[in-house]
Structure 1
Amino acid sequence: MSDTDLAPSIGFDDFLKVDVRVGQIIKAEPFPEARKPAYKLTIDFGPVVGVKKSSAQITHHYTLDDLQDRKVAAVVNFPPRQIGPVKSEVLTLGFPDADGHVVLVGVDRDLPLGGRLF
């Protein structure tokens, strides 16, 4: 499926199965072992979800300093996925720009960590 194709229709109950939470990046590191340029992220989702790791191909628009303390949205209930030497525990969300580079989904207010998307 390309990003111009619509995904199949789902019911509201299907949407509720996807657990998207707000977290705060507490550590961003280089990920030189990745096949495509990426960073290793450590994200705090508050007391319910805790601190999780993610890898993200966001090097085009963001430096490591840009990411420190940034609030992001992530799917927290996918099974962990091994990406090289990193076990990615959450899927950090973003949209492609006109050239296909990822722009992170963020929030424009100070929200409590772990808040769930609805």
Structure 2
Amino acid sequence: MHVNHLPGAPAASSIEFDTFLSVDIRIGTVVEAVPFPEARKPALKLTIDFGPTIGRKRSSAQITEHYTPETLLGRQVAAVVNFPPRQIGKFMSEVLTVGFADEAGAVVLFKPDRPVPDGSRLF
């Protein structure tokens, strides 16, 4: 299934509220960010701390247009934490870091406008 991420794409079809709730999106703080040169598309390997309940999880994120490892350390990001892990080369990505496309289609990360506790769930 291909999803059009660019601005101006039509809205997705309607879903039930329970379907939305089945996607577990949490806030975590980036505690490690390193280049991922082995990835087919430019990416970074992130370690994100989601607090004591979920713990630290790893994510491969194609976010190199707007972010460097140094700018991500200590930043809160949102991620889907209940997708199955996905093998990307030799790296196991455990969560899907989420963002929005800018005008050119590059990812702009989602973050709350004020700090919230790591592990907080989007609702």
Using the alignment, how far apart are the partners of 1:20 and 1:2 within structure 2?
A: 20
Where do residues 19-98 of structure 1 align in structure 2 (5 Å cutoff)?
Answer: 19-98=24-103
In structure 2, runs of 5+ residues without a counterpart are: none
Using the alignment, how far apart are the partners of 1:9 and 1:114 within structure 2?
A: 27
- Note the alpha carbon deviations across 1:77-114, whole angstroms, 9 max, x for none: 00000111111000000111000100001112121100
The number of aligned residues is 118
In structure 1, runs of 5+ residues without a counterpart are: none
Using the alignment, how far apart are the partners of 2:13 and 2:92 within structure 1?
A: 29
- Provide the TM-score with structure 2 as the length reference: 0.93
- Corresponding position of 2:4: 2
- Provide the TM-score with structure 1 as the length reference: 0.97
Over the aligned positions, Cα root-mean-square deviation in angstroms equals 0.8
- Corresponding position of 1:117: 122
Using the alignment, how far apart are the partners of 1:2 and 1:23 within structure 2?
A: 26
Partner amino acid for 2:47?
A: T
Q: Structure 1 residue 105 and structure 2 residue 121: aligned?
A: no
Partner amino acid for 1:13?
A: D
Higher mean C-alpha deviation, range 1-10 or range 35-44? 1-10
Partner amino acid for 2:33?
A: A
Using the alignment, how far apart are the partners of 2:43 and 2:4 within structure 1?
A: 22
3-state SS of paired residue (1:32): coil
Partner amino acid for 2:62?
A: Q
3-state SS of paired residue (1:14): helix
